[in-house]
Chains A and B, each alone.
Chain A
């Protein structure tokens, strides 16, 4: 009994000593605090910037409707854009934006898929050594360069081919096609590479050909990744301003065909933003266009998340 008690006591004093040792702050804990402090600070700033941007664009964008009392429906469906005369129908630009975006995505997707399949399945070595750097380079080229090439090459070419000025939706589509191709391709390559190797082996071992394996197993299981790639490409096309503005002709009229001057939300914004006075209807109307762009990019984001979630479900089930 005596002995156990003294042992216990001994343990108690020891644990007290350990208590202080384990609780006092060392260099490591200080570093922990500092690190956490810095990252919270940075996150705080970013949140602040994003929130104020959203608030700024939204409040300015809805001023057209709250202060100038333009009806939302008229704004969305009106075909006449002459803000200095009080006419702000944004439909031509909305149509223009969607037209060039979808057209570019539709043209680019087959090329991107073909290139990505070549790079991952047909010739992975050459793909990695040669095509990969080329595509990375293309992603990094500033859009003004694409626009400039479009202006110098595509527009004159279209002028010769079909007549007219050469400016228009088809030239914009072509420039955007070249711009989104590397984006879609490189993301598709990533998603094809992410397909587990054992799917491919399982398919080949069953006597399936390489083509059957690619089309029915690899593409199928990479579907959500490929859709995400296409949406990213579309988001890029939808938001691209400079290159489009240089080749589309910037006429705020309903696009009658693919080869006459038209405009997009972005091209109208970049063209018009310098000539308007803050707080007037023409200025507010441009902010409303910006708001549409913002909403669309939120929509693209939501779509990507939705697809990612569905893709995950499919694999977990």
Chain B
């Protein structure tokens, strides 16, 4: 028996003018055809912090995340505003390739191309117009170091990416994204296909990366959210119910639905 919660009772924090934001959504709605999957999403993401999106399966976390870099184009209708550097990027005239260059994305399932490790990163760079050999080499090294993969693969850059372990593949995907020097990194359950040790490695990588990037991560793992994130948003049936600093969220949730979810007595 699923418990009914009021969607009116929400506790979503906002930030004052002193906090610099990486990006922000305003009254964002998402429709898959006639299926209304995201309602009035108002979230703001502080710069150089990790924000975790949590919630039950089907609550709309991926839907929300994929809208942020316009990956829902052609799949869903997204209305409302998405603010990034003062520009509403949810408008027809906006260059989506440029957006995705600045707002990188890593998926749940590690998805390197069936090419060598080097080629995987070069692909991203070439797609964005970087062709000079020296710069390519430098970016390859930097991004692999950034993703904490360099030491493991530096002697085998021409090996197929598919020969790496799942955790290594996921870090390669992170490297591929940060090679383009984005400033926001979106990750959709990046550790759900990984073993605990690889998970720790990816988490350490993310904690290191937040110094340079703003990170938004979807996770099913509450421990992971509390280990790495500064802010945490709770999604329920397409509504954002609560958004607060992670510590507050886990120790002192404000509304019944979040309390139940965190206590594990949901529904």
CB distance from B126 to the nearest CB of A (A): 8
**For A209, what are the chain B residues with a Cβ–Cβ distance below 8 Å?**
97, 127
Pick from A201, A208, A216, A314: contact of B111, CB under 8 Å:
A201
Q: Give chain B residues whose Cβ lies under 8 Å from the Cβ of A212.
A: 127
Q: Measured between C-beta atoms, what is the minimum distance from B24 to chain A in Å?
A: 21
Interface residues of chain B, those whose CB is within 8 Å of chain A, are 69, 71, 97-101, 104-105, 107, 109, 111-114, 123-124, 127-128, 160, 162-163, 173, 176-177, 180
Question: Is A207 located at the chain interface by the 8 A CB criterion?
Answer: yes
**Which residues of the partner chain A approach B163 to less than 8 Å between Cβ atoms?**
317
Q: A207-B124, A208-B97, A216-B123 are in contact. Are A221 and B107 (CB under 8 A)?
A: no
Instruction: Answer whether A315 and B162 are a contact pair too, CB < 8 Å, given A208-B97, A217-B113.
Output: yes
What's the least CB distance linking A110 to chain B, in Å? 24
29 of the cross-chain contacts (CB-CB < 8 Å) are A198-B107, A198-B109, A199-B113, A201-B71, A201-B107, A202-B113, A203-B113, A205-B71, A205-B104, A205-B177, A206-B101, A206-B123, A206-B124, A206-B127, A206-B176, A207-B97, A207-B99, A207-B100, A207-B101, A207-B128, A208-B97, A208-B127, A209-B127, A216-B127, A217-B113, A221-B114, A315-B162, A317-B162, A317-B163
Chain A contacts of B111 at CB under 8 A?
196, 198-199, 201-202
Q: Which of A39-97 contact B (CB under 8 A)?
A: none
Q: CB of A316 within 8 A of chain B?
A: yes
Q: In the complex the two chains form, is A207's CB within 8 Å of B113's CB? A: no
CB distance from A227 to the nearest CB of B (A): 16
CB-nearest residue of chain B relative to A311?
B114
Report how far A274 CA is from B210 CA in the complex, Å: 82
Residues of B contacting A135 in the complex (Cβ-Cβ under 8 angstroms): none
Residues of A near any B CB (own CB < 8 A): 196, 198-199, 201-209, 212, 216-217, 221, 314-317
Q: How far is the CA of A203 from the CA of B104 in the complex (A)?
A: 11
Cβ-defined contact, B162 with A206, below 8 A:
no
Instruction: Name the CB-closest residue of A to B173.
Output: A202
Shortest CB-to-CB span from A311 to chain B, Å, is 10
Residue pair A207, B162 in contact (C-beta under 8 Å):
no
A170 to B69, CA, bound (A): 52
For residue A207, give the distance in angstroms from its CB to the closest CB of chain B.
Answer: 4
**Nearest A residue to B120 by beta-carbon distance?**
A202
Cβ-defined contact, B107 with A315, below 8 A? no
- Chain A contacts of B109 at CB under 8 A? 198
Q: In the complex, what residues of B have CB within 8 A of residue A204's CB?
A: 71, 100
Check A206 against B100 for contact (C-beta < 8 Å): yes
List 17 extra interface pairs beyond A203-B123, A205-B105, A207-B180, CB under 8 A. Answer: A199-B113, A201-B71, A201-B111, A202-B173, A203-B113, A205-B69, A205-B107, A205-B177, A206-B127, A206-B176, A206-B180, A207-B99, A208-B124, A208-B127, A212-B127, A314-B114, A315-B162
Tell whether, in the assembled complex, residue B123 and residue A207 are in contact, meaning their CB atoms are under 8 Å apart.
no
Chain A nearest Cβ from B146, distance in angstroms = 16
Q: Which of B97, B101, B163 has the most CB of A within 10 A?
A: B97
A217's closest neighbor in chain B, by CB? B113
Q: How far is the CA of A207 from the CA of B160 in the complex (A)?
A: 22
Cα A202 to Cα B112 with chains together (Å) = 8
Contact of A317 with B160 at beta-carbon distance under 8 Å, contacts A204-B71, A207-B128, A216-B123 already known: yes
In the bound complex, how far is the Cα of B101 from the Cα of A239, in angstroms?
Answer: 51
Give A124's nearest chain B residue, CB to CB: B74
The 6 A-B residue pairs with the shortest CB-CB distance in the complex, in nearest-first order: A208-B127, A207-B101, A207-B100, A205-B105, A198-B111, A206-B124
The interface residues of chain A lying within 8 Å CB-to-CB of B112 are 202
Residues of A close to B123: CB separation below 8 A: 203, 206, 208, 216-217
Minimal beta-carbon separation of A120 from chain B (angstroms): 14
Interface core residue of B104, B111, B162, B176 (most chain A CB under 10 Å): B111
A residues near B97, Cβ cutoff 8 Å: 207-209
